[in-house]
Structure 1
């Protein structure tokens, strides 16, 4: 099931980009991307990319739900993808 790999790769790329955009908006004190939207992207397969984006952009690192939730969700997601493959 290569489709699962593609979905996670695409959504992780989207998640990474979204974290960068939200960090840029935070710096400029502009309208931000709602946390619910970030979590929906993470649940749809973007968690690994968002986890990487969190580290690269140093974004949402003080939020415990993101600090611990994204790594756990990423590992669960990757485990499911490998199991289904």
Structure 2
């Protein structure tokens, strides 16, 4: 989870930098995939810190939703053990 969070955060920062320089961007599908695969915290923090993708409703809605689901899953699994 930590690795995916760091990856999501780094990808958000890299994509924001590339957007400023008009360089090659990270596909939105990649940002979603990394965030959905236990990178929720990094994706949400990346959106906030870099102020990136905050005007796209699907990022604003789904990135925090991924985080809530991931935290809920971790809590559920930790209580079950």
Relative to the length of structure 1, the TM-score reads 0.88
Q: State how 1:14-53 maps to structure 2 within 5 Å.
A: 14-53=7-46
How many pairs were matched up? 78
Query: In 1, distance between residues paired with 2:13 and 2:72?
Result: 26
Q: Which runs of 5+ in 2 are unaligned?
A: none
Alignment counterpart, residue 13 of structure 1, candidates 6, 14, 23: 6
Q: What secondary structure does 2:37 align onto?
A: helix
- Cα RMSD of the aligned pairs, angstroms, is 0.7
Q: Relative contact order, CA 8 A, sep 6+: which one is greater?
A: 1
Deviations 1:17-47 (A, max 9, x none): 1100000000001110000111110111111
Instruction: Name segments (4+ residues, structure 1) moved above 6 Å.
Output: none
Q: Which runs of 5+ in 1 are unaligned?
A: 1-7
Relative to the length of structure 2, the TM-score reads 0.92
